[in-house]
Amino acid sequence: MRRLVMGAGAIAAVAAIGFAALAAWPIGLRPSSDLADLKGNPGRGAYLARASGCIACHTNPEGGAPLAGGVELGTPFGTLYSPNLTTDPEHGIGGWSVDEFAVAVRQGISPDGEPYYPAFTYPFYADFTDQEIADLWAAFQTVPPANTASRAPEMSFPFNQRAGLKLWRALYQFDPKTEPVEGKSDAWNRGKWLVEGATHCAACHTTRNLLGGRKIDTAKFAGSDMLPGDGKAPPIDTATLVARDWDAGNLAYALKTGITPSGDAFGNAMGEVVLFGTQYLSPEDLDAMAEYLMDQPK
């Protein structure tokens, strides 16, 4: 705890000198493509939204309308609430263009040019193709409007200064390592794309530093004890999985059913990952993820 406080102190020092400068610092936006002309497939988009956790994280399990937001996300720096993503023009994203949606999802920047907090797992979506964005957009267009106002974040100073996120992004933003590897099977490469990107397993299973940055170079899938609500996620590197009796078959089965090789059910956050996400994936995709997880690159 003391170290956390010191970390915050150091940030506060940077904050005092840096925020005015940072607030004016532009973020490079990717040149817009021909997204508006691409025809999206809502079925494929809904599948991707399921796999990527959009539905899980933006639907309040305590009786909210689908994708109307309001899920509370605790962080060491304050509390965030997922916003309303329905087609409501006032409270949701009904007034957005597909280009604004693309920049929000792939780059984590709002239509006003403000960075989003990385509790929104956009760093994992950076490699979504234009077609995948068009598919997601087509699926979101089918969501009925919900008249629920989004709740503002309740972050402590200096983390309540969105401009400071530009500094955080410069230090800890990373590209998901989803690119295919030659010589590996199509299934392995599909598994890599899902595990490293869309399904964002590393969001919980990678060790973080005191500022919440993921140590992707040194501790990817090495486990984390910084989950919301003091939760812990175990390591899921290949060697640890093998040592704990996992193989491709029982891993694919567990991602489908939530049942582990010892006959227990996944608890806590992992139970929700299965309940709201991986149980909906096709057998081919689950096998692909398991193949990749049991044979991760060194």
Positions in the binding site for ligand HEC (CB under 6 A): 49, 52-54, 57-58, 73, 80, 82-83, 85, 93, 101, 104-105, 110, 116-117, 119-121, 125, 136, 150, 153, 199-201, 203-205, 227, 231, 233-234, 236, 244, 260, 266-270, 273, 278, 289, 293
Q: Smallest gap, in angstroms, from Cβ of residue 166 to ligand HEC?
A: 13
CB nearer ligand HEC, residue 153 or residue 164: 153
Q: Smallest gap, in angstroms, from Cβ of residue 16 to ligand HEC?
A: 22
Q: What are phi and psi of 228, to 5 degrees?
A: -50, 140
Q: Using alpha carbons, select from 246, 230, 226 the residue that is nearest to residue 293.
A: 246
Q: Smallest gap, in angstroms, from Cβ of residue 53 to ligand HEC?
A: 3
CB nearer ligand HEC, residue 80 or residue 143: 80
Q: Smallest gap, in angstroms, from Cβ of residue 215 to ligand HEC?
A: 16
CB nearer ligand HEC, residue 5 or residue 66: 66
Give the whole-angstrom CA distance, residue 203 versus residue 223: 10
Give the whole-angstrom CA distance, residue 259 versus residue 250: 9
CB nearer ligand HEC, residue 2 or residue 158: 158
Distances 252 to 100, 184, 280, 288 between C-alpha atoms, Å:
36, 19, 12, 8
Q: Smallest gap, in angstroms, from Cβ of residue 46 to ligand HEC?
A: 11
Q: CB-based burial of residue 25 (10 Å sphere; 0-12 exposed, 13-18 middle, 19+ buried)?
A: exposed
Q: Using alpha carbons, select from 213, 230, 60, 42 the residue that is nearest to residue 135.
A: 42
CB nearer ligand HEC, residue 9 or residue 145: 145
Kindly state the tokens that stand for 177.
């390592």
Q: Smallest gap, in angstroms, from Cβ of residue 10 to ligand HEC?
A: 22
Give the whole-angstrom CA distance, residue 258 versus residue 265: 5
Q: Smallest gap, in angstroms, from Cβ of residue 195 to ligand HEC?
A: 6
CB nearer ligand HEC, residue 11 or residue 98: 98
Q: CB-based burial of residue 228 (10 Å sphere; 0-12 exposed, 13-18 middle, 19+ buried)?
A: middle
Contact 14, 81 (CB under 8 A): no
CB nearer ligand HEC, residue 11 or residue 71: 71
